[in-house]
Chains A and B, each alone.
Chain A
Amino acid sequence: DAKTTQPPSMDCAEGRAANLPCNHSTISGNEYVYWYRQIHSQGPQYIIHGLKNNETNEMASLIITEDRKSSTLILPHATLRDTAVYYCIVRVANQAGTALIFGKGTTLSVSS
């Protein structure tokens, strides 16, 4: 799986958009970008994933650059409950038998 690089921490004001970057310059053509988050003392929660096109769901939007070497997770209106560690993971979809490997992620702190 390709390596990812994320800033260790970010701050965001409540109600504003939170933009979390992720670099994955060695990504392969068949690797997807997955985002999970972990709220304190809970298991990781799936947010969104994508291959080439931008994606949006009820939780967030994922913007992937045209060269696919980086992406940005956008929480359009951050709330205090969005305070968590956000993990960007790159891997082949439906890769049987292999686990998601977590890096250090970005700690997002949302404040009022």
Chain B
Amino acid sequence: GAVVSQHPSRVICKSGTSVKIECRSLDFQATTMFWYRQFPKQSLMLMATSNEGSKATYEQGVEKDKFLINHASLTLSTLTVTSAHPEDSSFYICSARDKIPGRQPQHFGDGTRLSIL
């Protein structure tokens, strides 16, 4: 089945640093990739939607200059949290939509747990 690989699975870094998270579709081409954020005991919140080769569309309240998204190919999207601060600590999950429609509307990665000290 379709697999979405997300890396790293966990990262701990100092306040002020930038962190890059990669999301890859391993055996399918993803026309659209989505980034979600999840705080403890809460549901997934959509941050942004990106289509290959074009700028991402951000949800209301999500700062595009803080959360940089690059979707350079049909199999790779990256999320960079710039100048991260403790309030950015969260569980970040990427998701990809297959170019060829199938059963599932979206395939999900296993998430990246980001902790900012």
Interface residues of A, Cβ cutoff 8 Å to B = 34, 38, 41-46, 49, 85, 87, 91, 93-105
* Chain B facing A: main interface SS: strand
B44 to chain A, nearest CB (A): 4
B29 to chain A, nearest CB (A): 14
Question: What 16 new A-B contacts, CB under 8 Å, besides A38-B44, A94-B105?
Answer: A41-B91, A41-B113, A42-B110, A43-B4, A43-B109, A44-B95, A46-B103, A49-B104, A85-B43, A96-B32, A99-B36, A99-B106, A100-B106, A101-B46, A102-B36, A102-B44
Which residue of the partner chain, among B34, B91, B105, B107, contacts A93 with CB atoms under 8 Å? Answer: B105
A78 to chain B, nearest CB (A): 22
Task: Give complex CA distance A87, B106 in Å.
Answer: 14
Residues of B within 8 A of A94 (CB): 101, 105
* Chain A facing B: main interface SS: loop
Task: Give complex CA distance A83, B49 in Å.
Answer: 30
Question: Could you tell me if B32 and A42 are in contact, using CB atoms closer than 8 angstroms?
Answer: no
Tell whether B108 is near chain A: CB-to-CB under 8 Å. yes
Question: Could you tell me if B43 and A104 are in contact, using CB atoms closer than 8 angstroms?
Answer: yes
Residues of B within 8 A of A101 (CB): 46
Question: Could you tell me if B109 and A105 are in contact, using CB atoms closer than 8 angstroms?
Answer: no
